[in-house]
């Protein structure tokens, strides 16, 4: 460690004192981010912006970002120490993902000096919330099959098309957008990434209501949206080079060294009653079958934590396979779905309750059970993670594909007619 960098131990003590003096206790909306209505959501967003600004003013924002862009120039070990000391305290949860990871991380790697100087300090101060625009209505998990098109027009680009499942786009500020800029080359070779302000002429943002009533996800429609070439990230038609790192940072998510988030509070503890509490309400604490389920849930929680710690350490050392983040993505998705199934099974005959009142009174887990597969879809499907692991981590042969080395213009994109 350089002599001019504060030791992790000294930093931890300083962070502990600052957090205690400046951040209150953790709130329910810090981790589940569920609000009753849009007005409450906007209040929570404003609160998160203020908390992020407080981190910046206190010298604890962007711990691993370069000092020239407003960060602290410290190490992942410093960020982890801060996250450990943050356990039990409030924090700007809506900035963690996707603003810091993957968006700010990608911007740091591939943005021009001007782009980084413009946006990274604004992110660190809580002035800009970012989203990622990858998925499309007809693309599924085939990110490289993007058909949202950007056409060069002098010093600008004209964007047309649609993106979907963009979390928080209705109140966010900027987005990373992957667009098709060349139809005459294979699909991976004709993509370009753009920085896109979300609230401007030509962009319509529609909310998507999910089964559980949440409507944070959005679909965007672009109609002749003008983008200056200065907001292009990376080389023209080289968007897949950016995209592979983008998806790496997306997979590591909250485990990124750029993310400020408490360590020590499990998702299960944050999002609802524990398996023990559910079994107690169901009168099943002495049931051997219930005890086995409780043990399984706890084992999944421990393995998730240790796997993330190991992969984060490997990434920080620079010696690990960067595609190993797919292992974490796959395990987290499967483990979360299994944990929600365990909670449903433990609740027994009360499991089918739907309302918050029923869940509070009986430990019912019906809605969480119905929504459990979201963990295997959002942020890149677990099927894609399996492919990444098999091909890029284990070195297995690629899946057969009919569109390799074929100009994207000639790739069928729908059922044949006639």
Determine what percent of the chain is predicted with pLDDT higher than 70: 92
**pLDDT band for position 370 (50/70/90)?**
confident
Q: What is the pLDDT of residue 315?
A: 73
Domain ranges of the chain: 19-96+107-128, 132-247, 266-393
Q: What is the pLDDT of residue 212?
A: 77
**pLDDT band for position 213 (50/70/90)?**
confident
How far apart CA 58 and CA 53 sit, in angstroms, is 8
Choice among 37-41, 136-140, 165-169 with the minimum mean pLDDT: 136-140
- At 308-365, the pLDDT tens digits run 888 877 777 777 787 888 999 999 999 999 999 999 999 887 787 666 676 666 666 7
What DSSP string runs through 111-178?
S-HHHHHHHHHHHHTTS--EEEE---TTTTT-GGG---EEEEETTEEEEEEEEEEEETTTT--EEEEE
How far apart CA 213 and CA 37 sit, in angstroms, is 10
Q: What is the pLDDT of residue 32?
A: 65
How far apart CA 254 and CA 381 sit, in angstroms, is 17
Q: What is the pLDDT of residue 271?
A: 53
pLDDT of 60 > 90? The answer is: yes
- At 265-311, the pLDDT tens digits run 544 344 568 899 899 988 999 999 999 999 999 999 999 989 988 88
Exposure string (b/e) for 36-69, b if CB count within 10 Å is 16 or more?
A: eeeeebeebbebbbebbbbbbeeebbbbbbeeeb
Cα Rg of the chain, angstroms: 22
Structurally, at CATH architecture level, domain 132-247 sits in Beta Barrel (2.40)
More confident residue, 142 or 339: 339
Q: What CATH code would you report for 266-393?
A: 1.20.140
- At 69-106, the pLDDT tens digits run 999 999 999 999 999 999 999 999 999 999 999 999 99
- At 222-248, the pLDDT tens digits run 999 999 999 999 999 999 999 999 988
pLDDT of 221 > 90? The answer is: yes
What's the whole-number average pLDDT of the chain? 90
Choice among 38-52, 77-91, 108-122, 396-410 with the minimum mean pLDDT: 396-410
Query: What CATH number matches the domain at 19-96+107-128, 1.10.357.10, 2.40.30.170, 1.10.3720.10, 1.10.540.10?
Result: 1.10.540.10
Q: What is the mean pLDDT of residues 10-25?
A: 97
Q: What is the pLDDT of residue 1?
A: 47
Q: How many alpha carbons lie under 13 Å from residue 88 in its C-beta half-sphere?
A: 5
The pTM of the full predicted model, rounded to 2 decimals, is 0.87
């Amino acid at each position: 460690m350089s002599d001019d960098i504060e030791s992790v131990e000294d930093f931890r003590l300083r962070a502990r004192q600052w957090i205690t003096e400046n951040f209150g206790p953790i709130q329910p909306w810090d981790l589940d981010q569920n609000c009753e209505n849009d007005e409450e959501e906007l209040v929570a967003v404003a609160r998160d912006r203020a908390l992020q600004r407080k981190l910046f003013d206190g010298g604890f924002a962007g711990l691993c970002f370069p000092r020239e862009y407003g960060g602290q120039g410290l190490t992942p070990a410093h960020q982890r120490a801060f996250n450990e000391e943050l356990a039990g305290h409030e924090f700007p949860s809506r900035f963690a993902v996707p603003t810091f990871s993957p968006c700010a991380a990608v911007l740091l790697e591939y943005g021009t000096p001007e782009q980084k100087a413009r946006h990274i300090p604004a992110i660190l101060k809580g002035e800009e919330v970012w989203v990622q625009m990858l998925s499309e209505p007809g693309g599924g998990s085939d990110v490289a099959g993007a058909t949202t098109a950007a056409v060069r027009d002098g010093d600008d680009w004209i964007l047309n098309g649609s993106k979907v499942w963009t979390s928080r786009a209705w109140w966010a500020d900027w987005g990373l957008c992957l667009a098709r800029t060349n139809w005459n080359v294979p699909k991976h070779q004709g993509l370009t990434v753009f920085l896109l302000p979300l609230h401007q002429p030509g962009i319509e943002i529609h909310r998507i209501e999910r089964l559980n009533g949440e409507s944070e996800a959005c679909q965007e429609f672009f109609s002749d949206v003008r983008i200056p070439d200065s907001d292009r990230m990376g080389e023209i038609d080289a968007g897949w080079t950016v995209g592979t790192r983008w998806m790496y940072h997306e997979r590591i998510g909250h485990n990124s060294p750029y993310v400020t988030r408490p360590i020590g509070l499990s998702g299960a503890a944050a999002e609802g009653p524990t398996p023990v509490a559910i079994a107690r309400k169901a009168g099943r604490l002495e049931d051997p079958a219930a005890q086995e389920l409780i043990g399984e849930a706890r084992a999944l929680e421990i393995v998730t934590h240790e796997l993330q710690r190991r992969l984060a350490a490997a990434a920080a050392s620079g010696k690990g396979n960067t595609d190993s983040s797919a292992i974490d993505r796959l395990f987290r998705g499967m483990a979360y779905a299994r944990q929600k199934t365990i909670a449903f099974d433990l609740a027994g005959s009360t499991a089918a309750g739907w309302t918050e009142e029923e869940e509070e009174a009986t430990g019912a887990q019906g809605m969480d059970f119905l929504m459990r597969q979201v963990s295997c879809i959002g942020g890149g499907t677990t099927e894609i993670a399996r492919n990444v692991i098999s091909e890029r981590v284990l070195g297995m042969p690629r899946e057969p594909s009919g569109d390799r080395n074929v100009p994207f213009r000639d790739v069928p994109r729908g059922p044949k007619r006639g």
